[in-house]
Amino acid sequence: MSLFVAGTDTGVGKTLVSALLVARYARELELVYWKPVASGAATERDRTRVAELVPGAGTAAEAYLFADPVSPHLAARREGESIELERIGARWRELSSVFPGAGFVVEGAGGLLVPLDDAGALLTDLIGVLRLPVLLVARSTLGTINHTLLSLEALARRDLAVAGVVLCGPRDEENRAAIERLGGVEVIAEVPHLAEVNPATVAAAAAELDPAGALRPWLARAS
């Protein structure tokens, strides 16, 4: 199987958590990082960033890659393109064939309800096309209870499976407990702020991620 790494908002740590997942499990599982839709490539490309942070990591090219650091639907419009879920689904099937033994860490763009086109397709529609369980990344700080519960509600309304939640930032036991109790979900891991983000610090943080191995069954590809 594979995991879709989604966020409660932009900038919550999806790319870092994706890199940590690959680093944590790459020694025992064949994993490939893939971000189907990415914007902001003029300043930073998340695929390149993950490859830098986890040397030797398998990565796959985006189905859509845009220069401007704006919502995907706007970035696509500015470049005269339109994001098509069918094209992403076809790319997903192609990758599954090219890497038949691999599990995928698939990263979303922005929050769950970010628009992909002007007709109303949302990131949740893409998750539905890929049929992947969601690992929800959220901030640990003030406001996260509301944002996380709203995101969990959006997933539940669409019958999208949730593998768990990862909190990024300073440890906050009250916020964690409230999310688990009110959201009916497990906080799988808490990722502290990294003063520097480089291969060494990512490797160290990955060693502490998911100590119980709860995410391994989601990432292990059935033979």
Residues serving a catalytic function are: 35
Instruction: Map residue 174 onto helix, strand or coil.
Output: helix
Q: What are phi and psi of 171, to 5 degrees?
A: -65, 130
The answer for residues whose C-beta is within 8 angstroms of residue 79's C-beta and 6 or more apart is 66, 67, 68
Dmax (CA) of the chain: 46
